[in-house]
Amino acid sequence: MLRIGLLGCGRIGQVHARSASQIEGVTVTAVADAFPDPADALAAKTGATVLDADALIESNNVDAVVIGTPTDTHYDLIHAAARAGKAIFCEKPVDMSADRIRDCIKVVEAAGVPFMTAFNRRFDPNFANVQNRIADGEVGDVEIVTILSRDPSPPPISYIESSGGLFRDMMIHDLDMARFLLGEEPVSVYAVGASLVDPEIGKAGDVDTAAVTLTTASGKICQISNSRRANYGYDQRIEVHGSKGMLRAENMLENTVEVATEAGFRKAPAQHFFLERYEAAYRAEMAHFVEAVNNGVDIAPGITDGLRAQMLADAAASSLEQGKPISLE
Ligand SMILES: NC(=O)c1ccc[n+]([C@@H]2O[C@H](COP(=O)([O-])OP(=O)(O)OC[C@H]3O[C@@H](n4cnc5c(N)ncnc54)[C@H](O)[C@@H]3O)[C@@H](O)[C@H]2O)c1
């Protein structure tokens, strides 16, 4: 039996509430939000009690907290939950600053509580399959990883302004995926970027189109391609080239029907966005968290993975600014 308290009842909080409710032996006992309506709506769906965030974290009826609030609130909630001795599942990014994540690591380690950084893409069945096959040696030594990750359309400018920028908000998932598939830490990061989709994004100080090259100490390479726009749906593809062959995970399409006419072959667009595309991954990541907490085993990705991805995102932002590769210790 694991009793979960959910902090933040917005887009991702609702996903996690649904995933948790579907796991046997798990109950969402409490929910909290900064506003009453989202909390009441989720309480009605889950049967949870509505509490304020502090009361939820201190509640004797909560064993683990799921943090699905905006990124700038994670730091305080992590500190409070760790001090209260709760297991923590925290949305990405853990924080916008690597130094503040280091503070969180200290408090989490001092409290000895389990912590998961919600890099859901590691749990996507196809991407997990790619990683398993790398680990089994099916394509030999990994040489070049290619990650293509494009959103269907840009978020509002108000979101861009508070997002921390494309590298920390969006590419952070791909930077974690790069570490997951390379199996080695990148030691160099080179980024280029531009605002080609919407000049307003450029005026807000961000880019909407970016490419990053990572290299590891042994010379393995990862290329990441990001765009805030793809008119054919949410474009999420991975290719791994190794000494004995190649692994490729293609897009998930809205359906598998292909039509052929004299004009050629045509398929459906890619599934629209993350809620559809990663539904199975969100369920699997929550199942992993619950199983690890119940059995007292290590959680991956943990808080250090959150820090590593953040350091790569910071290096990518610096590389773009300085126009040169950045070396990491
Ligand atoms: N892993 C993924 O695929 C994924 C997808 C989307 C969002 N996220 C992350 O999830 C987090 C939330 O994003 P979202 O899109 O769900 O945002 P959202 O705005 O839809 O929801 C956030 C909710 O938290 C509430 N809130 C704000 N401050 C609070 C506080 N101190 N205590 C309790 N509730 C509070 C808000 O009222 C809102 O209802 C962000 O860190 C984001 O980066 C991850």
How do residues 256-272 score in pLDDT, each as one tens digit?
999 999 999 999 999 99
Closest alpha carbon to 133 in 251, 216, 241, 220: 241
Model pLDDT, residue 162: 87
150 forms beta bridges with: 227, 235
Cα–ligand 1 centroid distance for 258 (angstroms)? 37
Q: Looking at the CA of residue 69, tell me the nearest atom of ligand 1.
A: 24
Asked if the model's pLDDT at residue 88 lies above 90, the reply is: yes
Q: Is 32 in the pocket of ligand 1 (CB under 6 A)?
A: yes
- CB proximity list for 38: less than 8 A, separation 6 or greater: 9, 10, 13
Q: Looking at the CA of residue 7, tell me the nearest atom of ligand 1.
A: 33
207-253, pLDDT tens digit by residue?
A: 999 999 999 999 999 999 999 999 999 999 999 999 999 999 999 99
110-126, pLDDT tens digit by residue?
A: 999 999 999 999 999 99
Going 142 to 145 to 237 to 275, the CA torsion angle's sign is positive
Per-residue DSSP letters for 163-189? Answer: S--HHHHTHHHHHHHHHHHH-S-EEEE
Cα–ligand 1 centroid distance for 77 (angstroms)? 13
Q: What is the mean pLDDT of residues 181-195?
A: 97
Counting ligand 1 atoms within 8 A of each CB, the residue from 33, 77, 90, 279 with the most, and so the one to mutate, is 33
Three-state secondary structure of 115-170: EEEECHHHHCHHHHHHHHHHHCCCCCCEEEEEEEEECCCCCCHHHHHHCCCHHHHC
Answer whether 7's CB lies under 8 Å from 79's CB: no
Model pLDDT, residue 74: 97
Asked if the model's pLDDT at residue 50 lies above 90, the reply is: yes
Given pLDDT bands bounded at 50, 70 and 90, which one contains residue 329?
confident
Closest alpha carbon to 8 in 91, 106, 100: 91
